[in-house]
Structure 1
Amino acid sequence: MTFERPKLWTPTPLIYSSHLSGRIQDFCKTLEANGKVISWKNRRVLVYLKFESLHPPHSFKHRGISLFAYRAQEKYGKDVHLVIASGGNAGYAAACAARNLGIRCTVYLPKFSTPSTIKVLKEQDAEVVVIGSFYAETLEKAKEVVTTEEKAVLVPAYDDPTVWEGHGSMIEEIAEQLPPGKKPTSIFCSVGGGGMLGGIMEGCRKVGWEDVTITTLETIGSNCFHHSVLLNIPNASSDFATNLPPYIERLSSPLPMDTSKELTLAHFTSFHSAASGSLGASTPSLGVLQTALTRRGPVKPVSVQDEAVMLAALGFVDDHKTLVELACATTLVPAYFPEVLDSLKLPTPEGEADDIVLVFIVCGGFKVSSGDIPIWKKGVEEGAAKEGWSGWKVVVGDGQEIFVRN
């Protein structure tokens, strides 16, 4: 049975940010005035924000999970039953997709889930099952249902080619929305398990941007992708690369298409970041990691301290009147602390008149409220008051450490 394909999502706006463009431009002028040679001299810096927070479930996950749900409906018909284990944005996206398509969805939540999370899911007509003391146990219960129901389908949160394909549509939109002749110098995104990064790389492939640099942002204490990248780079010899915290284990995994080769994954046994509610994947997607290590354009990982993310989130409220999750604000750290951009050594466009075009994916997330603002302010104040404080730590690439201040 086939179905007329519904409108799965509405294109989100790409907005030019005069605030952040000016902030970075002023930083470049300051460097130049202090006698530092900068590659971006006499270049305009243009910052664009892709507002993925404007989807109905408030995050980019609406794209890939909607496409996955639609194809599941094509395969199994209207009686398909979407099943997902997620206490976060993936579960909300699945519930919204199922409601849009008129199909059944059950979201399995661990026992520590909040009443507000249960409420938003039920508002989308999803069935909610609260079971399991931790996520892995909840996931196993969801898998049991899929094995016993003929038309039940387990919805992946991030590790699936169809999900990446759906997420990649944001890049196709950006290619159409940028002014004629403009191409990103770098695209910035946060990383949890890697679903959005997989989509961005797939989208770049489709539009001919395989050479575009992608800068990934994570918080220290939930940065499984950054550590996994370094574990697979032979010459990564920094202390950050070689001396892993006690909560990170090394796991070896053979590549699906070539079992004679394997990658090493950083596996987190616990998380130590305020953003881990959305960024806290135990390991990154193997397929996304493999593509990131082999694509033509570099993928530059960055890990940042929580307080720098809080400052970026607070700055975004002031500048763009938008409140976002810390997982989303992580992406914005290089815009609010341009010294991070400077340390990245991003490429300079070949044409002398070409602008520096920086695209930040405002990925969204529903777990945020006005009550978070005083918590973030307090966290920043308490962190800066600690004895010996020298700034908020940012780790770039293979272990270069810089410290930023507000």
Structure 2
Amino acid sequence: MPSIPSTYEPLHIVTPLIYSAPLSQHSGHNVFLKLETKQISGSFKARGIGRACWAAAHRIGPNAHLVVASGGNAGLAAALCSQKLGVKCTVFVHKKTQPPIIERMKGYGAEVNVSDSGWETVDRLARECVAADPNAHYVHPFVGEDVVRGHVSIVDEIYDQLEGAMREAGLENPTDRPDVVSSAVGGGGFIRGIMTGLGERAAADGRRPTHVVGVSAMGGDPWGLSLETDHDYVDGANTSLAVSLNCIMCSTLAIDAARQYARTGSVEGATPETHGSTAGKDAPYLSSVRADDAQCGAAAWQATDELGQPIELSTGAAVVPVYHPQVLEHMIKEKGLPEKLKVIVVVCGGSRVDEKDIEVFREKYGKGYGQVVVDGAVVVDA
């Protein structure tokens, strides 16, 4: 049985940051892709889930029993990280989780329980499992300080890699500093980690905070709807096909942090009393984007063609802003960004896609249709 390290040793891998010539040419900006698709578990989840798994196993010891409720990606990460730590893992999933994903979890040694109901049920069952076992710990998919701190690691990697990626692409004035980071948003834990890391970097180097773009898919977008308004939005519909992003309600801590980051470029001081939308020049450091499934699906198949590996519709959401130059131009105008941007798109990864899905996206969505909304303003209506 592997020993549990007394200090945290990352359970994720360092992923590549590559320059995208096609997206740069299309958008008019320098676009780089951070390939979380290369994580062994298939998605960014290994960062936050990995640190949370280690923290629990370190506290409880080798008899730790890690329990997670998941639609797929968090469960895969928890199963893999538990295997690396040598501790027991139980994953509760719902009926929409594809059999190949379940088999991968089992292959990592996890016990998998499938419910006929949705997230609320699997979350309840996971908590009941923890309550019945004194050695068990619930690893939440997107809430918790260890989860957030694990996700900060992607910011460190971007800073380590950007200058080299710019030099390799032959770009002038290489720097370690991105102007924009775009990520898809579901529950909010990942983007909270991104904001935390970028805020810490801005405080350390004294330069303008990096602009954060959080993209959600319409029909499953409490993130975007919350930030367009002054309250935490509950979305009971979940009609989007971007299943990995669908949640009834985002982490309220992530929403509070976003409202604070939008105005100050830091998450420090964020409280439930942090109010206001992210629209306008008084919130210059963050934009919320909501896109129709057709826009996300179109971005997904086009990114698949460039990268040579299937990209989830949920992951395609993060790429939407660079497929529509007017989206970035809107941010430049409204948020006071530089005219020529260095944009990092986090290709979040995920397991809910195969080649057949990509062909459906290509045939059904083409180059995209429907709306793209930025901070409440309709910028694309195709």
Q: Same fold (TM over 0.5)?
A: yes
* Deviation, structure 1 residue 84: 0.8
* Deviation, structure 1 residue 401: 4.1
Give the share of equivalent positions with the same residue, in percent.
Answer: 31
Q: 1:289 aligns with which of 255, 268, 278?
A: 255
3-state SS, counterpart of residue 156 of structure 2: helix
Highest CA radius of gyration, 1 or 2? 1
* Deviation, structure 1 residue 205: 2.5
Task: Look up the match of 2:290.
Answer: 303
Contact 2:162 2:177 in 1 (8 A): yes
Contact 1:87 1:117 in 2 (8 A): no
Contact 2:158 2:176 in 1 (8 A): no
Q: Does 1:195 align with 2:169?
A: no
Task: Look up the match of 2:232.
Answer: 265
Q: Where does 1:64-83 land on structure 2 (aligned, <5 Å)?
A: 64-83=48-67
Contact 1:315 1:336 in 2 (8 A): no
User: What amino acid is aligned across from residue 322 of structure 1 in structure 2?
Assistant: Q
Task: Look up the match of 1:278.
Answer: 244
Task: Look up the match of 1:126.
Answer: 110
The alignment yields a C-alpha RMSD, in angstroms, of 2.0
* Deviation, structure 1 residue 21: 1.0
Structure 1 residue ranges, 4+ long, deviating more than 3 angstroms after superposition: 1-7, 346-349
| Matched residues, number | 342
Task: Look up the match of 2:223.
Answer: 225
Contact 1:224 1:283 in 2 (8 A): yes
* Deviation, structure 1 residue 355: 5.1
3-state SS, counterpart of residue 26 of structure 2: helix
State the alpha-carbon separation in 1 of the partners of residues 43 and 84 from structure 2: 16
Contact 1:301 1:396 in 2 (8 A): yes
Q: 1:397 aligns with which of 362, 375, 380?
A: 375
State the alpha-carbon separation in 1 of the partners of residues 153 and 378 from structure 2: 33
Task: Look up the match of 1:366.
Answer: 351
Task: Look up the match of 1:167.
Answer: 151
* Deviation, structure 1 residue 7: 4.3
User: What amino acid is aligned across from residue 130 of structure 1 in structure 2?
Assistant: V
Contact 1:182 1:357 in 2 (8 A): no
* 1:111/1:336 CA distance change after superposition, 3 Å: closer
* Deviation, structure 1 residue 204: 0.8
3-state SS, counterpart of residue 233 of structure 2: strand
Task: Look up the match of 2:27.
Answer: 24
Contact 2:10 2:51 in 1 (8 A): no
State the alpha-carbon separation in 2 of the partners of residues 147 and 301 from structure 1: 37
* Deviation, structure 1 residue 227: 0.6
Q: Deviations over 1:146-172 (max 9, x none)?
A: 112111000110011110110110001
With normalisation by structure 2, the TM-score equals: 0.85
Task: Look up the match of 1:11.
Answer: 14
State the alpha-carbon separation in 2 of the partners of residues 368 and 155 from structure 1: 25
User: What amino acid is aligned across from residue 68 of structure 2 in structure 1?
Assistant: I
State the alpha-carbon separation in 1 of the partners of residues 152 and 247 from structure 2: 20
User: What amino acid is aligned across from residue 17 of structure 1 in structure 2?
Assistant: S
State the alpha-carbon separation in 1 of the partners of residues 122 and 305 from structure 2: 39
Q: Does 1:356 align with 2:341?
A: yes
State the alpha-carbon separation in 2 of the partners of residues 400 and 109 from structure 1: 36
Contact 1:131 1:138 in 2 (8 A): yes
Task: Look up the match of 1:186.
Answer: 180
Q: Does 1:215 align with 2:213?
A: yes
Contact 2:211 2:286 in 1 (8 A): yes
Contact 1:185 1:347 in 2 (8 A): no
3-state SS, counterpart of residue 265 of structure 1: coil
